Amino acid sequence: MAETTRRTLLAGMAALPMAACSEIADTGPAGDLFDAAEGLHRTMHRALAQRQALAREYAPEDRSPDIRGNGSISVDTPAYREQLSKGFPDWRLTVSGLVDNPISLSLDDLRALPQRTQITRHDCVEGWSAIAEWTGPQLSALLDKAGLREEAKFIVFRCADTLYGRAYYESVDMVDAYHPQTIIAHQLNGKPLPEKNGAPLRMRIERQLGYKHAKYLTAIEAVTSFDDIHGGKGGFWEDVGDYQWYAGI
């Protein structure tokens, strides 16, 4: 695992300037400046904190009374409603794309993997924060299990929910994908995730703002670029609202 991790990390790092350059080519002068600043933030954050530096973890008594549901707070399809009422017996999470062995996991399969529990703070881009305990396997374990290929540069998260009639999705680079606190959470404060917080599975990417933490997770896909995925900017809010792809600030 260590060898794959190191190689994929290096590949992820190498992809950063390339991604920044292609973005600059796509946009106007103000866009160029904004993208340059966004790239500078990401570079500085990773230079100042080690790439694997942890987000703050809290004590159980520091948790907030609730964690607000925001953005999509439900999935309005008969299939989801049926799964929700039965406890998601048939929910599958697939890992595909640039991997040697695509896999499909049930919730039981995910619960059988080594688990990480972390009490962290969720910071919404709008400005509010909430603290909660999240439990689930690390994304790195799934990527290693599926045999991530070296040419993979980004991990895309596919979701069951739609907003404004469009499918929700998100993505991160390999630095965040292999971060120890990047987990696929199935529990919130020791109980199965409630619907408003993304039941049955959601991402936790603790060093980035809330819109990166994709809810109602159905698939994980390893890719080299976002060009052929929805609007091509690497995420729902990035496509719809021109939000910053790097959400660490």
Residues that bind another protein (CB under 8 A): 30, 33-34, 37-38, 40-42, 45, 48-49, 53-56, 58, 62, 64, 66-68, 121, 123-131, 206-209, 237, 241-244, 246-249
Torsion of CA 144, 145, 148, 153, to 10 degrees: -60
CB contact at 8 A, 126 and 180: no
Pick between residue 80 and residue 245 the one whose CB is nearest to another protein. 245
Taking the complex as a whole, the smallest distance from the CB of residue 34 to another protein amounts, in Å, to 4
Query: How far apart, in whole angstroms, are the C-alpha atoms of residue 113 and residue 115?
Result: 6
Q: Which tokens is 171 given?
A: 């993505």
For the bound state, the minimum distance from the C-beta of residue 70 to another protein, rounded and expressed in Å, comes to 9
CB 155, min distance to another protein, A? 17
Task: Select 1 or 49, whichever has its Cβ closest to another protein.
Answer: 49
Considering beta carbons, is residue 161 or 238 the nearer one to another protein? Answer: 238
Q: Write down the least CB distance from residue 238 to another protein, Å.
A: 9
Of 158 and 213, the one with the shorter C-beta distance to another protein is: 213
E strand residue ranges, the chain: 93-97, 103-105, 116-123, 129-136, 154-163, 166-173, 183-185, 187-188, 191-192, 202-204, 217-223
Torsion over CA: 150, 5, 211, 53 (sign): negative
Helix, strand or coil, per DSSP, at residue 55: coil
Min dist CB 204 to another protein, Å, is 12
Q: Which is nearer to another protein, 131 or 142 (CB)?
A: 131
Token pair recorded at residue 149: 């290929």
